[in-house]
Structures are given as structure tokens and as C-alpha cells.
């Protein structure tokens, strides 16, 4: 075990109808007014918005709301939301949606306490020193944002999809009610499964030191994702499968998988963020394209890790077969594994590689990933 | 997944020489003076006390100290420590030791903010409404106390070994440095392994609903404990094995294994606490005696769970063999599995059963565990 700090103060309220208590949770933190941030208007037609606001009103909590957050959420909307918060002097941010909404909410929470442009935090021009408290009611499980201090937002003008992170951005309370996720489309279920998978595999295959306990923890998350995705593809309303899927998503990026690990990096995310920034590919779809190709590129660096993966996850003695079986599984759940399937033109290799190389520089990974190597991985994925 | 709340704000500082930063960690919480609570004088001869106090002094933190905490820690010493804290108006408690020391520290932290006797909290006469912040530097891994809000203390006058619990008693920061655990005797390593095992198996075998993810999480903890105990019996200084063992202990009782679980109870602990209260048997030794006998008693209630345990942990298709293999493993590491091996007289069955039945009543388990059933389990363990 290598040295580590584990700290995660987010409270998870998991279960049926827990969103009806959101007013109470918010009031426990002496927050008297919030900005409700959300995505599509679906939450207005399916009754969720009304139930959440009824719960807030019951506690005397006032609110404003801003909708329209999209997949690969844009800093433009974050800026608008920051203005609403500042103008109304709101005391907290309540995200109602999936990872994109919550990621945006974190940016708003930091931006509301910052005099300059919120994008400053993403490009290293400012540090988060203060933030409004963030709460969430999740309607999609994938990013793990509900129990971590990170967010990713896209700047469409500069074509940058960049992360923000600060211990101040841990949500205070996140509600995970599997019933709210029962209407996720099969397409987005597949993307979510791939996102969780990549959070795990980025670490699993890059770590220079991986405790056996942590390897097995990751394998348990992967097994859970595969098993429950299979169940949910047949029966989207299976509550326990939906619940285990959601909890696996949370566990994949809440710090548990980092414990005692050394030398890990988020390679497929570094590349995928470029796809999202340039072509607005859904995050999970982009990852499905990158992941098998990336595994091909790096497999000879840690053959024993690839053998373990093949053995534990696919009951195969052959490391290469682990990659092909994973690719087959992605295809079987409807995740794209080629440029064409993801709707990316072949000539996108160069611009994505260039954009990803900017990420690599920002993340301190440019020695490991020169532009040519990123292009080679992407070319493998063109097929 | 059944409804649950997950909340654990303890910060873990894991790694080499992290105890040298304890002054910094304490000062981050604006605590200017602490009571150092510890067990034997070993920490004074091996330099740990000096290093911890040097770190405190560096931050201008003043301290008093109280030593002498024993296994099955006594409320008498807790009361003395509370007096020292009150008299000197100390602002925090720093436990340097194992689970008994930290459990006592939690009681002191609550007692220092209470006008009456600290034992009031244990017998339901008072509720913890305020507590001093608790910090720890762990020298033994077993109880999980470093990352949970519980403590167990013994009242030798009333012959009660009772728990205290409150979200206010989560340690603020716990230091886990595997090097500080390298001198644990093989005997106490075995007891610790059994303690972790029983935290897991109490839940695993009693839960009326156990998510597959959680079952596999527990099996991972059990596998880690068995594997690393084997390594450490041969090489007590193996840093990574010591580290994985310690982290498994933390994970076994920090809330992760409760997530989504329904209907679990701490049956072997309920019985063992009576042994500890009456005969001062080390906690892990008592548990080693109780656990296999208890498994025999309940095995027909959940045969599929026992079969899974046998299959996953001992690669056997036979549920009964899971119990016998576990008993053999306890014996192989030097943990007692009979009354005689634990130094308990045969006629201890009745008094232990009686005392345990008082626990059962207090824990709301008396319908499930009438005195006769507890006596039957204990009789199985006499051998």
C-alpha cells in the first residue's frame, strides 16, 4: 500500500422516495435558498421538479431554477447560472439530473464565490477557495460525481473540455433513488456502463502499484456493472439491479479505488475529452471507442495485469482475449467501438489527437502521450 | 438494495511516518490542546510518544497524557481521563494505540461534554449531544474504530461490556502507518484477524437482504485478511501485507459493508461482549471461540449463504466444510476455538449466557436469542 489520504464527507441518501426529503437535507445545512439546476424539461413533465420544490417549500427554502444543461455541459450555461445565483444571492446549488448537471452545479457553486470568470478555475487562472454548498438528486448513474469533488465542463468557444476539482466541491448530500433512473434509455445505460468501466480500467491498467485488495474491489465493480446492465437491458425497472448499478458507479470514483494505489492516470478520459469538446460525442460513447484501442496500445507494458483482467472478468487465460471480449460486450450492449459507429469522421483523428495533446500537457501526461501516440490509438479505433 | 444513509467524514492519513504530521492535522481543526490517551508504556520506550508530542509541540499544541488503557478497556480509566480533560479544559482527544484506546478516547470525548457520569451514555441514560474532536494514531488494526463512530467499554463493577455510538464520535483524522503495527505479537495478529472476520461474518450471515456487490466486497475483505495474515505470520515486517490487513480492518466496519443491506445484527459480538465483561478474554480470542459454534447454530437458516461462503472463501461446494475450514484456519493462526483454549472454565457457560442475554435485551435481540439458545451455542464451543 502506497501513502494516501482518504477523505469523503458526502452523505449519500439512497433509496425509494428519498428525493421527497431533499428540503430537510438542505435545511440541515442552514441553507435557506437554492438554485435548482437541471437538464431537459422531462423533470417538469414527470413530476420530479414538483416533488423536489414541494419538499423545499415545506422547509421554507426559496429557489430559482435554470434548466437546459446538456451532455458535455457548456460553460456558457454555467455562467448564466452563476449570474442568477449572484443576482438573487442564493445560498446553495441543487442539481437535479445526471453527472453533467451535477458537474455544472459544482462549477456554479465555485463561480458564485469568484469575482472573475468561472472558466478561470478550469484553466488554472484561479483556485477554488470558497464555494456554495452543493446538493444533488440523481436521475442517472455514471460519473460518480454524486460522491466526489470533481466536475467536467466544456468551453465550446475554445473547444476545451476541462475538469475542475476541490475538496470544497464534495456534494453535502446526494440522493440516489434507483426508481428515478428507471427511464434511462438503453443507449444511455450502455454509455453509463462504459463510463464506470473506464473509471475503473484507467486506474487498473495504469497503476504502477495496485494492492491486491484494490484490484479485487475494481473487479467487483466491473462484475456488478456487467451483471446489472444485463438485467436492466431486459427489465429497466428492476430496482435492485438499478440500485447496484448506481452504487457501483458511485464506488468507482469516490476515492475507494485510489487507496494505496500509485502512478495511476486517466488516459482514456484525457483522449475522450477531446472527442467531446470537438464533436459533442456522448462521454460514454467516446470512451467505448477509445478504451479497447487504448488497451491494445498499452497491453505489453503490463501483461500480468491484462492476464488478471481476462481471468477475473472473462474467465480466460489470455490477456488479448480480455480485450476482445470486452469489445464484444460493448457491442452487445449497443456502445460504439469504432469512429463510424460513434458518428465520427475518419479525418477526425488529427484534430482529436491535437486537442487531446493539449489535455495531456495540462494533466502532465505529455511525455507519456506525444501527439503521435494519441493519433496511433485513435487510428486503431477508426477500424 | 435496501434504503440506506452513507456518511463517513473521517479523514484517513495512511502511510509511512504520517504520525509525524499529527500536530498539523490537529491544528487544522483549531484544537490547541489535547489529552493523549494510550495503553502500555511501550510507546514511551519505542519513541512513538516522543515523536507524537514533538509534532504537537511544533504546532504549539499543549497536552496532558493518561496511559494504562487495557484490552477490554475499563470505564474507570475513562472517568479518570474525563476528569483530567475537564480540569485542564483540553480541546481534543488524541488516541495513540489500538481499538481499545480509541474506543476509550471516544467515551472521553463525549464524557468531557457531559455533566453526569460517562457510563450514562452506555446504558441509555444520556445521549451524546456534544463531543470533543477525536484524533488517532493507530498501532493495531482490528476494530475499525479509526473510521467509525462506535466504541465499546467495560464496566467491571456492573460486569457490563457495552457500546457507545454517535455521529459526533467519528475521528476527525486517523493515522494508519503499517510500520507502527510491525511489532504486534502473532497472538494479537490472530485475534485481530478474527475480529475483522467476525465484523464481516456477523453481517454476511445475518442479513435478510445482501446485495451481490456487498457480498463480494465482504469476501474481498475476508480474502485479504487470510492472505495477509499468512504473509505476516512469516514476515511481520512485510509493509504491504500489513497495510492491506489494516485497510481491510478499516473497510470491515466503516459503513461500506452496510450499504443496501437489511436485517443484519452483530450476534457473535453480543455473545462475546459477555465473555469479555466476565472473564476479560481478549476480544478476538472470545470471538474465535464463539464464531464457529454460532455458525453451526444458524447454518440451516440460510444454507445458500453458507454455500456461497464455502465456495468463495474455501473453494468448496459444501456449506459445512466452510465452517470446518474456517475453524481449522483459526487454529492454524493460533486463535482459540474452545473454552479450554481460551482459558475459560466449562461452568462459564451459564454466567456468560446470562450476561449475553442482558446484551440481547439491550440490543433488541432477545426474541431471536433466548438465554437457552445462547447457552446452546456456548456449549457447542466448550467442545
- Indicate which CATH number applies to the domain containing A365: 1.20.1090.10
Residues 235-294 (B) with a CB less than 8 A from some CB of A: 239-240, 243-244, 246-248, 256, 259-260
Q: Please check whether residues A217 and A356 belong to one and the same domain.
A: yes
Grid cell 461462503 in the structure block, residue: B309
CA-to-CA distance for B112 and B89, rounded, in angstroms?
9
Task: Please give the grid coordinates belonging to residue B84.
Answer: 483530567
Give B245's contacts in chain A (Cβ within 8 Å). none
Residue B2 lies inside a defined structural domain of this protein = no
Q: Is A4 within 8 Å of B15 when comparing Cβ atoms?
A: yes
Q: Is B341 in CB contact (< 8 Å) with chain A?
A: no
Distance from CA of B250 to the nearest CA of A (A): 12
Domain shared by A151 and A300, yes or no? no
Cell numbers at A357, concatenated: 495533446
Does B213 lie at the interface with A, CB-CB under 8 angstroms? Answer: yes
- B68/B50 same-domain check: yes
Q: What pTM was computed for the model? A: 0.97
For residue A3, being part of any structural domain is answered with no
Q: Is there a domain that residue B368 lies in?
A: yes
Q: Is B123 on the interface with A (CB under 8 A)?
A: no
The last residue of one of the domains, among A146, A180, A214, is A180
Instruction: Show the beta-strand stretches assigned E in A68-206.
Output: 92-97, 134-138, 150-155, 160-165, 173-176
Number of domains in chain B: 2
User: What are the pLDDT digits (tens) for B167-204?
Assistant: 999 999 999 999 999 999 999 999 999 999 999 999 99
Is A106 in the same domain as A231? no
Largest CA distance in chain A: 61
Domain assignment present for A2: no
The residue among A162, A180, A198 that closes a domain is: A180
User: Domain for residue A5, yes or no?
Assistant: no
- Does residue A4 contact residue A259 with C-beta atoms inside 8 Å? yes
Q: Which residue of A has its CA nearest to B223?
A: A213
* Residues in chain A closer than 8 A to B18 (CB atoms): 3
Residue where a domain stops, chosen among B180, B204, B233: B180
CA distance A89 to A128: 19
Given a contact cutoff of 8 angstroms between Cβ atoms, the answer to whether B176 and B116 are in contact is: no
Residues of A in contact with B227 (CB under 8 A): 212
Joined together, the cell numbers standing for residue A158 give 475554445
**Residues 309-338 of chain B whose Cβ lies under 8 A from any Cβ of chain A:** none
Whether A205 and A98 share a structural domain:
no
- Mean pLDDT across B69-78: 96
Query: Is A6 a domain residue?
Result: no
CATH number at residue B90: 3.40.50.1970
* pLDDT, one tens digit for every residue, chain A (383 residues): 999 999 999 999 999 999 999 999 999 999 999 999 999 999 999 999 999 999 999 999 999 999 999 999 999 999 999 999 999 999 999 999 999 999 999 999 999 999 999 999 999 999 999 999 999 999 999 999 999 999 999 999 999 999 999 999 999 999 999 999 999 999 999 999 999 999 999 999 999 999 999 999 999 999 999 999 999 999 999 999 999 999 999 999 999 999 999 999 999 999 999 999 999 999 999 999 999 999 999 999 999 999 999 999 999 999 999 999 999 999 999 999 999 999 999 999 999 999 999 999 999 999 999 999 999 999 999 98
* CA gap B336, B304 in Å, rounded: 28
Cell 449463504 -> residue: B305
How many other C-beta atoms are found inside a 10 Å radius of the C-beta of residue B127?
Answer: 10
pLDDT tens-digit profile of A37-76?
Answer: 999 999 999 999 999 999 999 999 999 999 999 999 999 9
B371, part of any domain: yes
Q: Which of A212, A239, A261 is the mutation pick for testing B, counting most B CBs within 10 A?
A: A212
- By residue range, what is the domain housing residue B151? 11-180
- Identify the closest residue of chain A to B170 by CA–CA distance: A9
Chain A CB contacts of B211 under 8 Å are: 240, 243-244, 247
Count of CB atoms situated within 10 Å of the CB of B84: 16
Asked whether residue B4 is domain-assigned, the answer is: no
Q: Do both B19 and B159 map to the same domain?
A: yes
Alpha carbon separation from A155 to A119, A142, A273, A356, A371 (Å, rounded): 8, 22, 11, 14, 22
Question: ipTM of this complex > 0.90?
Answer: yes
pLDDT tens, A254-282? 999 999 999 999 999 999 999 999 999 99
Count the Cβ atoms, other than its own, within 10 Å of residue A383: 13
Chain A residue numbers with beta carbons less than 8 Å from the beta carbon of B248 are 213
Q: Which of B4, B14, B211 sits opposite A240 (nearest CB)?
A: B211
Cβ contacts of A114 within 8 Å, gap of 6 or more = A120, A121, A126
Residues B127 and B188 in one domain: no
The alpha carbon of residue B241 is apart from the nearest alpha carbon of chain A, in Å, by 8
Say yes or no: B20 and B133 in one domain: yes
Residues A88 and A57 reside in one and the same domain? yes
Amino acid at each position: 500500500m502506497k501513502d494516501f489520504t482518504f477523505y469523503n464527507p458526502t452523505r449519500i441518501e439512497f433509496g425509494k422516495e428519498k428525493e421527497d426529503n431533499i428540503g430537510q437535507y438542505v435545511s440541515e445545512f442552514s441553507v435557506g435558498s437554492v438554485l435548482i439546476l437541471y437538464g431537459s424539461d422531462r423533470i417538469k413533465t414527470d413530476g420530479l421538479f414538483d416533488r423536489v420544490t414541494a419538499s423545499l417549500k415545506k422547509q421554507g427554502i426559496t429557489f430559482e431554477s435554470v434548466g437546459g444543461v446538456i451532455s458535455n455541459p457548456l460553460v456558457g450555461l454555467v455562467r448564466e447560472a452563476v449570474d442568477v445565483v449572484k443576482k438573487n444571492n442564493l445560498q446553495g446549488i441543487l442539481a437535479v439530473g445526471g453527472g453533467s448537471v451535477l458537474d455544472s452545479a459544482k462549477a456554479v457553486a465555485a463561480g458564485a464565490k469568484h469575482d472573475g470568470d468561472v472558466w478561470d478555475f478550469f484553466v488554472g487562472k484561479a483556485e477554488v477557495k470558497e464555494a456554495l454548498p452543493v446538493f444533488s438528486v440523481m436521475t442517472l448513474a455514471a460519473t460518480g460525481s454524486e460522491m466526489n469533488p470533481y466536475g467536467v465542463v466544456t468551453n465550446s468557444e475554445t473547444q476545451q473540455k476541462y475538469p475542475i476539482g476541490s475538496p470544497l466541491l464534495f456534494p453535502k448530500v446526494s440522493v440516489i433513488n434507483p426508481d428515478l433512473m428507471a427511464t434511462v434509455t438503453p443507449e444511455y445505460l450502455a454509455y453509463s456502463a462504459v463510463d464506470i468501466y473506464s473509471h475503473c480500467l484507467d486506474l487498473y491498467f495504469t497503476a504502477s502499484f495496485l494492492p491486491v485488495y484494490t484490484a479485487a474491489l475494481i473487479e467487483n465493480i466491473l462484475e456488478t456493472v456487467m451483471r446489472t446492465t444485463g438485467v436492466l437491458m431486459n427489465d429497466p425497472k428492476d430496482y435492485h439491479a438499478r440500485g447496484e448499478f448506481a452504487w457501483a458507479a458511485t464506488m468507482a470514483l469516490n476515492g475507494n479505488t485510489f487507496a494505496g494505489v500509485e502512478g495511476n492516470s486517466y488516459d482514456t478520459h484525457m483522449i475522450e475529452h477531446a472527442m467531446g469538446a470537438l464533436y459533442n460525442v456522448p462521454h460514454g460513447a467516446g470512451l467505448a471507442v477509445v478504451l479497447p484501442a487504448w488497451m491494445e496500445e498499452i497491453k505489453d507494458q503490463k501483461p500480468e495485469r491484462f492476464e488478471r483482467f481476462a481471468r477475473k472478468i472473462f474467465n480466460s487465460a489470455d490477456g488479448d482475449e480480455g480485450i476482445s471480449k470486452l469489445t464484444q460486450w460493448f457491442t452487445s450492449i449497443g456502445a460504439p467501438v469504432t469512429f463510424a459507429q460513434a458518428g465520427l469522421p475518419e479525418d477526425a483523428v488529427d484534430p482529436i489527437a491535437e486537442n487531446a495533446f493539449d489535455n495531456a500537457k495540462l494533466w502532465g501526461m505529455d511525455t507519456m502521450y506525444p501527439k503521435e501516440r494519441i493519433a496511433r490509438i485513435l487510428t486503431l479505433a477508426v477500424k
